[in-house]
Copies of this chain bind each other. A is one copy, B any other.
Amino acid sequence: MTSPAKFRKDKEIIAEYETQVKEVRAQLLEQLKCLDQQCELRVQLLQDLQDFFRKKAEIEMDYSRNLEKLAERFLAKTRSTKDHQFKKDQNVLSPVNCWNLLLSQVKRESRDHATLSDLYLNNIIPRFVQVSEDSGRLFKKSKEVGLQLQEDLMKVLNELYTVMKTYHIYNMDSINAESKLKEAEKQEEKQISRSVRQEEKQTPRSPDALTNIKIEEKHIRRSSVKKIEKMKEKRQAKYTENKLKAIKARNEYLLALEATNCCVFKYYIHDLSDLIDCCDLGYHASLNRALRTYLSAEFNLAQSKHEGLEMIENAAENLNANSDKQCLMVTYNTVFCPPARFDFQSHMGDTVAHICAQPPVQGELLQRCQQLQSRLSTLKIENEEVKKTMEATLQTIQDIVTIEDFDVSDCFQYSNSMESVKSTVSETFMSKPSIAKRRANQQETEQFYFTVWFFHPQSTTVLLG
């Protein structure tokens, strides 16, 4: 048999279990605290979201009003122009069309940002309010369920405690009964061995004298043995009874142990997870819908803006000097239409209405014609040169004024850091040396163009020279 020092004492086992249960209880409390904290954070987040969208709604409304004012300022100016015909005439010009579309775009953006503000206030914020209400309610109910589940779990642990202690008591009783039985068995053994030794000692004596003593002694010994046997029997019964009780108590303990472990497993693995699920019920989905409402609003705003910008893009592509010139000439046709042809007015019935090239003037006319022809052919060559120069000059100017220098994508490329943002665009468009050089070149070319135009001889006037 092993020494008793190797067995843990009852008290030790009980104290260890009590500590274990205390730890579980503390953990359960922590769990509820943790859920409370999550609930608080959620309420705070939803409050922040509401505050955020309320403030942003104000900003959007402000922006919308400013844009509205801006558009109205210029539209009022156009409206105040009393001359409707003049207004109509101007509107056909491509730059005026662009300008009108710019103002329309501002009106459109104003309206869209007002709609955005409205959606924040009357759709998105109410959603967060709703989510907050739902979350609070669900947390409260989940906590109630959680408390009930924890109570049930603690009941189970306490049951185990009781059952374990019962096992200890019954097992101790069984051990005690066993040791008492063993003591009785020892006494019986002792008595039996003593009787045997005395009978062996009495053998050499006279038979008659000893017979009486022997009988007497035998009688005493027998009654003693019987007594011991009776005690042993009683103790045997007691032991059997206690042993059975101890076995039953151990069985109960083992069953309770199994059930407790199952309950603990179920609580930690299923119930806690279910509890968190219940707290979250609909939270993510509702949050998702609120955010998607925000996204839908923003994407629609972007879409609307894009459509407006495309109209301006289209108008900018249709900026056309030639068609504007035609429009101008049609609009002011009385100012630009050529006068009637100057006809020959015959004098006093002069019936000849053509050049006479008969002999008296023939020679002179022929000579003059030849001179003019030679002058014209020189001029023609000169004009071809001038024309080429002017066309080349014009092309240079066209190249300068149509240079594709309008892509500002770079200004919207930032480093990934969202914190330290200070726009680096500020270099003025005009301050770039390349642009200054280009402008100087443009003006010089333009000056040259006008000089050529101004001073080159007009072939039509040569006839009158």
A70: nearest chain-B partner, CB-CB? B55
Pick the contact of A335: B4, B30, B339 (CB < 8 A): B30
Is A383 located at the chain interface by the 8 A CB criterion? no
Residues on B with beta carbons closer than 8 Å to the beta carbon of A129: 430
Binary contact readout A271-312 vs B (1 if CB under 8 angstroms, 0 otherwise): 011101110111111111111111111111111111001001
Tell me the chain A residues, 125-146 only, with Cβ under 8 Å from chain B. 126-127, 129-130, 134, 137-138, 141, 144-145
- Give the CA-CA distance A348 to B407 in the complex, in Å: 90
Decide: B361 and A2 in contact? CB cutoff 8 A: no
- Give the CA-CA distance A461 to B16 in the complex, in Å: 24
Decide: B339 and A277 in contact? CB cutoff 8 A: no
Residues on B with beta carbons closer than 8 Å to the beta carbon of A6: 349
Given contacts A171-B350, A309-B298, A360-B247, contact A336 B254 (CB under 8 A): no
Pick the contact of A316: B10, B288, B403 (CB < 8 A): B288
Given contacts A159-B464, A324-B280, A345-B8, contact A265 B338 (CB under 8 A): yes
Decide: A268 and B336 in contact? CB cutoff 8 A: yes
A157: nearest chain-B partner, CB-CB? B342
Is A38 located at the chain interface by the 8 A CB criterion? yes
How many residues in A have their beta carbons less than 8 Å from beta carbons of B? 205
Shortest distance in angstroms between A359's beta carbon and chain B's nearest beta carbon? 11
Decide: B348 and A284 in contact? CB cutoff 8 A: no
Is A319 located at the chain interface by the 8 A CB criterion? yes
Decide: B428 and A126 in contact? CB cutoff 8 A: yes
The stretch of A181-189, A373-381, A450-458 that contacts the partner chain = A450-458
Is A83 located at the chain interface by the 8 A CB criterion? no
- Give the CA-CA distance A325 to B284 in the complex, in Å: 12
Decide: A276 and B23 in contact? CB cutoff 8 A: no
Decide: B324 and A312 in contact? CB cutoff 8 A: no
The stretch of A102-110, A199-207, A216-224, A227-235 that contacts the partner chain = A102-110
Is A460 located at the chain interface by the 8 A CB criterion? yes
Given contacts A118-B426, A284-B94, contact A338 B2 (CB under 8 A): no
Residues on B with beta carbons closer than 8 Å to the beta carbon of A278: 450, 453
Residues on B with beta carbons closer than 8 Å to the beta carbon of A138: 446
- Give the CA-CA distance A156 to B458 in the complex, in Å: 12
Given contacts A247-B361, A254-B344, contact A107 B421 (CB under 8 A): yes
Tell me the chain A residues, 157-200 only, with Cβ under 8 Å from chain B. 159-160, 164, 167-168, 171-172, 175
- A114-B423, A119-B408, A295-B309 known, 7 other contacts, Cβ within 8 Å: A2-B349, A30-B332, A111-B423, A119-B411, A152-B461, A244-B360, A302-B305
Listed A/B pairs (12) with beta-carbon separation below 8 Å:
A20-B339, A52-B74, A59-B70, A118-B425, A145-B450, A156-B464, A251-B356, A282-B397, A283-B321, A284-B319, A285-B319, A289-B406
